[in-house]
Amino acid sequence: MKVSDAGLPGVKVIEPGVFQDARGFFMESYNREALLRHGIAAAFVQDNHSLSAVPGTLRGLHYQLEPQAQTKLVRVTAGRVFDVVVDIRRGSPAFGRWAGFELSADNKKQLLVPQGFAHGFVTLEPDTEVLYKVDAYYSQPHDRGIAWDDPELGIAWPLAPSVLSAKDAKHPPLREADINFTYSR
Ligand SMILES: Cc1cn([C@H]2C[C@H](O)[C@@H](COP(=O)(O)OP(=O)(O)O[C@H]3O[C@@H](C)C(=O)[C@@H](O)[C@H]3O)O2)c(=O)[nH]c1=O
């Protein structure tokens, strides 16, 4: 397993070791001890799985408020996404900065999204399936979003969304977002 820093503080790209043979492949998609060796101590409590049928489906940008903030470990098992994280921890030197990563069933890369980051993705292929672990349970009252097209974020999505939920069409820009994360170095 290879773990690399990925442009924003605490964001990491994880590349599991993949064993290919005549049957196909085998990999450990999650190993708590191996992640601990890289300082990733999140105690995951829930696994999520979504299917987006149409390329250009955009989900995001989502986060949960404290005390239900979530670390997310995101991967793709079918298709391909452009996955985006935004640092929304007030006081962070990277506040408002975004980073984007291609995650796919082929590259098997995983993205570690720390608490205090908004997260979203646009699918680049039909029938794309995204799986992710979270370390706090879903809580609808803590569920919040930021506009995917906030001009102050200036996210360079590789394609314009063709499918967006009614909820995701109505999020405020970061400047007006409800945020209660504290940044500590
Ligand atoms: C996220 C979530 C949703 N739900 C329900 C609420 C709703 O009825 C239905 C669909 O929810 P959403 O529209 O919020 O699903 P979706 O837009 O896929 O939300 C997800 O987007 C990505 C980008 C993330 O980062 C995730 O944390 C999550 O916010 O599923 C749960 O029961 N548990 C959960 O953990």
**pLDDT tens column, 132-156:** 999 999 999 999 999 999 999 999 9
Cα dihedral 110, 134, 114, 178 in deg (nearest 10): 130
Confidence of residue 33 (pLDDT cuts 50, 70, 90): very high
Does 108 fall in a domain? Answer: yes
Residues 130, 95: Cα–Cα separation, whole Å = 26
User: What would the mean pLDDT of 84-97 be, rounded to a whole number?
Assistant: 96
Helices (H), 42-182: none
Q: What is the DSSP letter of 35?
A: H
Confidence of residue 35 (pLDDT cuts 50, 70, 90): very high
Confidence of residue 53 (pLDDT cuts 50, 70, 90): very high
Expressed in angstroms and rounded, the spacing between residue 74 Cα and the centre of ligand 1 is 13
Pairing of strands 117-123, 57-64: antiparallel
Residue entry with tokens 């504290």: 182
Does 27 fall in a domain? Answer: no
The pLDDT score that the predictor gives to residue 78 is: 98
Does 111 fall in a domain? Answer: yes
Does 35 fall in a domain? Answer: no
Q: What is the CATH number of the domain that holds 124?
A: 2.60.120.10
Does 72 fall in a domain? Answer: yes
Catalytic (active site) residue 183: no
The catalytic position among 63, 119, 132, 142 is 132
The pLDDT score that the predictor gives to residue 24 is: 98
Q: Identify which of 62, 85, 157 to mutate to test ligand 1's pocket (most ligand atoms within 8 A of the CB).
A: 62
What's the total number of domains in the chain? Answer: 1
Confidence of residue 184 (pLDDT cuts 50, 70, 90): confident
φ/ψ of residue 142, rounded to 5: -100, -5
Q: Looking at ligand 1, which atom is closest to the CA of residue 61?
A: 23
**What type of residue sits at position 18?**
V
Pairing of strands 24-27, 72-78: unpaired
Instruction: Output the residue whose Cα is nearest ligand 1's atom 29.
Output: 62
Residues 72, 173: Cα–Cα separation, whole Å = 22
The pLDDT score that the predictor gives to residue 181 is: 87
Does 66 fall in a domain? Answer: yes
**What type of residue sits at position 16?**
P
Question: What is the domain range of residue 94?
Answer: 2-15+42-176
